[in-house]
A and B are shown apart, each in its own frame.
Chain A
Amino acid sequence: MAVVPGNRERASAIFQDMSAIVQFENVGLRYGLDSETLSDVSFTLAGGGFYFLTGASGAGKTSLLKLLYLAQRPSRGVIRLFGEDVVTLPRKRLPGFRRRIGVVFQDFRLVPHLSAYDNIALPLRVAGMEEGEIDAPVTEMLNWVGLGDRGQARPATLSGGEQQRVAIARAVIGRPEILVADEPTGNVDADMARRLMTLFEALNRLGTTIVVATHDLPLIAQVSGAQMMRLDKGRLADPTGSLRYPPRQQGSE
């Protein structure tokens, strides 16, 4: 008689799956003595996937993303990135992991005294790239986000949409393996939002795993093949289990 594996066994099997780039298992996050912001969050993201994270304001989307881009350690549970447990990872090893993740912050977090050019160049400089090699990719990226003539502008002189594009350019210039974007279309018009999604899809086709937190349901519908995670009061609402156990991609069998 064939034995049908239970959820736990299936989860363990997926933990061994090298294509899984992010794995959360029973993750909880508590700030101070408050009740848990995130509770029992478990999911697996396959490398090269495109994921949306939705949920009402205060559902814990930003907190979950913070765990994902290593700005926060969970109060409990296991998080594995690129196959390694990052919860118990020594602090000095975190920079190496962070360099593999690009982040578009909800509030952009551009360095105010640096030009758009220098903001975009920051990840390359952090990674130790020679100055002579920086100009070409930064200029290309500025043109890509339509800011070719605004390279020397300071963030304060840019519109919200322009700042957001600089933030996106900064997040993707280092060709991260995972791109995490927190409400990336919150400050741009519908046309720019569509263009950003096209940009993310292009990156995704190049192999970058994309995780986008958004309220914008029409935007989600725009990206075919993307999967959706929904957070509800700090818990992952995943009735189908498709996120925890993502379907195998075509041709992988």
Chain B
Amino acid sequence: MASRADRRAAAAARHRLLPGGRVAGPMLWIIAIMMFLTVLAAAAGLGLGAAVQSMSADLAGRASVQVVEANPQQRDQLAARALTALRGADGVQAAAAVDPALLADQIRPWLGEEATSGDLPLPALIDVTLTPGDADAKVARLRRLLGGLSPSLRIEPHAAFLLPLAGLLSALGWLAAGVVLLMTLATGAVVVLAARGAHDSHRGTIEVLHLMGSTDVQIARLFQRRIGLDAMLGSALGFAFAAFVILLIGLRLSATGSELLGAVRLPPISWVVLALLPVAGVLLATLAARWTVLRALGRAL
């Protein structure tokens, strides 16, 4: 069995066979850029996916009841009755009145301080969380129940206004997945071109090796090792820079304080997926190099 020193010497000898910088040229940097863009696109896809998923909970089981009554006293009485009815209703997991102060805070940026002076009649709001399953039927039942109490009570499932947004986020997520796929194909193509170029520029050496009895696999291994090494360095660089950018964007999103933008975040499992991308990139590059060189060698005697 070969000693460690032997293996190191053998690796150095193999390394000398294909001189540095002449195997794949700028491939290291191309892979780094590709990996950077791939990781960013994947992070966008995963982040949007997480946002859609978190939004789906709202879509499936949340609704708001508006008490549209100009008279404040009647509005409060009606809200209390509606709240009691909702809490006792089938299919309702929880119902809670929205704090009027919170409501005022939310509309102040659009309507100004006058919005909370009391002159402007604001509807009272009740947040309703439904039990899981068939939200449409439950909302329809609650609409009938509330209609029986007063025509001033309106129930709006969140799906009604969040669905288009969720659709947009979902489409953007798929777009990101498509970009990842295209980047993967482009990376494979770059490696194939680089391996072809390396094979052509080392044709003389390869011919000598062949005539000395090297097998195709022996020669292909020389190229796949070198291209794999370039891909490893490039992928690590691209991933590190992309991770830095993602963290920076995450901090910026958190700083906005927006609930919607805050939903676009990367759970730990997504980081695992992102960390696997460089590994997959190295594997792809190595296999593409091996396939390309073996194909080229197969055309010679």
Contacts and interface: CB of A to CB of B under 8 A. Distances in A.
A127 B10 CA distance: 13
A113 B19 contact: yes
Interface string B79-120: 000000000000000000000000000000000000000000
Interface residues of B, number: 26
Contacts of B216: 92
Contact of B212 (A118, A123, A131, A132): A123
Nearest to A170: B212
Contacts of B212: 98-99, 122-123, 126, 174
B258 interface: no
Most interface-central of A91, A99, A126, A130 (chain B CB within 10 A) = A126
A131 B213 contact: no
Interface stretch (B1-9, B45-53, B161-169, B180-188): B1-9
B218 interface: yes
B260 interface: no
B301 A122 contact: no
B207 interface: yes
B259 to A, nearest CB: 62
B10 A131 contact: yes
A122 to B, nearest CB: 6
A132 B301 contact: no
A131 B6 contact: yes
Given A94-B301, A122-B212, A114 B16 contact: yes
Contacts of A71: 211, 301
Contacts of A125: 10, 13
Contacts of A103: 211
Contacts of B301: 70-73, 91, 94
Contact of A96 (B9, B207, B213): B213
Contacts of B218: 126
Contacts of A70: 211, 301
Interface in B199-225: 204-205, 207-216, 218
B247 interface: no
Given A70-B301, A118-B13, A131-B10, A109 B207 contact: yes
A95 interface: yes
Contacts of B3: 132
Contacts of B214: 95, 126
A185 to B, nearest CB: 21
A27 to B, nearest CB: 16
B6 A132 contact: yes
Nearest to B205: A111
A185 B298 CA distance: 34
Contact of B208 (A72, A97, A121, A122): A122
Interface of B: 2-3, 5-7, 9-10, 13, 16-17, 19, 204-205, 207-216, 218, 298, 301
Given A95-B213, A126-B213, 6 more contacts: A71-B211, A109-B207, A125-B13, A126-B209, A126-B212, A132-B3
User: What 7 pairs between A and B have smallest CB-CB spacing?
Assistant: A99-B213, A131-B9, A98-B213, A95-B213, A131-B6, A113-B19, A95-B215
